[in-house]
Amino acid sequence: MRQLLGLVLISFFMTSLFMVPFIDFLFFLKRKFERKLPKVNLKNESPIHDQLMKGDEKTPSGGGILLILILTILSTSLALFTKKIDQVSLNILLFTLLSFGFLGLVDDVKLIITRRKGKFLGLGRRYLLIIQTVLALAVGTMLYFWAGFNNIYITGLGNFIIDLWYIPLSAFVIVAFANAFNISDGLDGLSCGLLTICLFAFLALASTSLNLTLASFIGIWLGGLFAFLYFNVWPARIFLGDAASFGFGATLAVVGLLTGKILAFTVIGGMFVVIVASSLLQILSKKFLGKKILPVSPIHMYFKYIGWPEPKVVSRFWLAQVLFAILGLWIGSQ
C-alpha cells in the first residue's frame, strides 16, 4: 500500500510539474500554425453538434500526450527496479497504450495545426477502424499466447473456456472501448472523470487479487489523471486529444480483461457503454429508419442541447459512473 500511494504521488507531482509548460507549448503551436495555414471550410455534417462545440476550437488539444509519456516512463522505471512486476502484463498494457496512442496522434497533430472541427480528421473512419481492429487482434493474441487467457468468467454462470475465440472477443472489447472513450471526450472533464472512477474500481479488484503489476500501473495512471483533471474540468484549458482518447480507452479495456471478470468490467465501464450505445443507435436509426432518434448524439451532447449547463451534465454522469463502479465491484467480488 505504501508503494502504491508513493507511485500515485510521484505521478501526480511529475505531471503537475510539466503540465503548465506543456499547455503553453501547445498554445504556441496552435497560434503558430493557425497563422500560417488557410482556413478550410469542411462539410458541416453535424450542425447541431458543431454549434454545441462552438468555442472549443480556441482550446488546444493533445494534453494526453504528456500523460502517456509519464505513464510509460514511470511504469518502465518501476519494472526495472521491482522484481515482482509481471513483465508480460506490463508489456501488453504498454503496447496497447502506445500503439493506439500513436494511431490517435495523427488526429492530434491535425487538431493542433487546424481549428477543432470534430473527430477523424487525420484518417477516414473506415481505415481507422481497420487499423484499430488489427491492433486489437494483436493485443488479443498477446493476451492468449503470452498471458495465458483463454476463458471468460461470468458471475452467477461460471467460468467458460473459449480457447482461440478469446482473441476476437477481446479485440471487439478493445475496439469498442477505444471508440467509446473517444466519443465521450466531448465535454470538459467528462471522459477523464469517468476514467478516474473506473480505475478506482479496478484498483480495488487488483488489490484484492494481489495483482501488484496491475495495481501499480493503475496507481501511476491515477496520479497523472488527478493533475490533468485540474486543467481539464470546466472551463478547460486543455483537451485530452485523440492520442490519449484511443490509447486510454483501449488500455482501460485491457485492464478490465486482465482482471479476468468480463461482466464486472462491462458494468464498471457502464457510462462508456451508455455513451457509445447512444451514438450507435443514432447511426442505425439514420441508416435504417432514415431519421434521427435524438436531435444530437452522443447522449451527453443531447443534455447540453436541451439546456443543461455543461458542468451539470458532467457531474451527473460522474455520479452515474460511481453507481456503475459500485455495482461492478459488487459483481466482481462474488
Q: How far is CA 326 from CA 8, 110, 204, 264, 319, in A?
A: 22, 38, 11, 10, 11
What pLDDT digit, counting tens, does each position of 137-181 carry?
999 999 999 999 998 888 778 888 999 999 999 999 999 999 999
Q: Nearest 5 degrees, angle CA 95-CA 97-CA 100?
A: 95
What type of residue is 253? A
Does residue 235 have a cis bond before it (omega within 30 degrees)?
yes
What integer best gives the mean pLDDT of the chain? 87
Handedness of CA 104, 100, 299, 255 (dihedral sign): negative
Per-residue confidence (pLDDT) for residue 122, from 0 to 100 = 52
Residue that wins the pLDDT comparison between 210 and 245? 245
Contact by Cβ (8 Å): 295, 238? no
**Rounded-to-integer distance, Cα 191 and Cα 200, Å:** 14
**Rounded-to-integer distance, Cα 106 and Cα 93, Å:** 21
Does the structure show a pLDDT above 70 at 232? yes
Average of per-residue pLDDT across 258-284: 92
What pLDDT digit, counting tens, does each position of 105-116 carry?
887 776 655 554
**Rounded percentage of the chain residues whose pLDDT exceeds 70:** 88
What type of residue is 127? Y
C-alpha cell at 38: 488557410
Per-residue confidence (pLDDT) for residue 47, from 0 to 100 = 58
**Which residues neighbour 263 within 8 Å (Cβ) at sequence distance 6 or greater?**
153, 154, 155, 331
Q: Which of 135, 212, 120 minimizes the C-alpha distance to 167?
A: 135
Contact by Cβ (8 Å): 132, 246? yes
Per-residue confidence (pLDDT) for residue 131, from 0 to 100 = 93
How sure is the predictor about 289, in pLDDT bands with cuts at 50, 70 and 90? confident
Q: Which residue do the cell numbers 505521478 mark? A: 11
